[in-house]
Structures are given as C-alpha cells and as structure tokens.
Amino acid sequence: MAKRATVYFDPDIHKALRVKAANTETSVSDLVNRAVRQALEEDREDLKAIEDRVAERTITYEALLEDLKAHGKI
C-alpha cells in the first residue's frame, strides 16, 4: 500500500514534473517514485562495487603520477 508524504519542490522542478507527467500520461507521484527507485538502485550498485574492491591495494595520487611518468604515460 502506498504511503503519503509531503515533498516540497523548487517551482521550476515542479512545473517540469507536471509537464512531463502530462506528456507521458503518468502521474507526478509515479515519476518521483521511479526517480527515487533509480537513485536507490545506483546507491546499491555503488556499495556493491566498494565491497568488491575493499581488498584492493591502495596507492597515493602522488605515487600514481610517478608510476604513470615512469611508464611514459604522462
């Protein structure tokens, strides 16, 4: 069951949402739900990528630059 929430949008964003909703024959609520789902999925993917890389060796920016220079890449 959907829950009701009050969200305050910048007037220009709200106008754009209303226009897009009308043009796509959907509701502002559906557009916002899709956008939030997408943002949460991106967060989940980012956290998974971080988890997958936690054991990787780290290198300082300075060391990276030196390595690139030593191998003729910069």
DSSP code per residue over 53-69:
HTTSPP--HHHHHHHHH
What pLDDT sits at residue 31? 98
> Does pTM surpass 0.85?
no
| % of the chain exceeding 90 in pLDDT | 97
| Burial (Cβ within 10 Å: 0-12, 13-18, ≥19) of residue 29 | middle
Q: CA 69 to CA 41: how far, in whole Å?
A: 38
Number of residues that this document lists for the chain: 74
Report residues of the chain scoring pLDDT below 70.
none
What are the sequence ranges of the domains in the chain?
A: 11-70
Dump pLDDT digits (tens) for 12-26. Answer: 999 999 999 999 999
The pLDDT assigned to 30 comes to 97
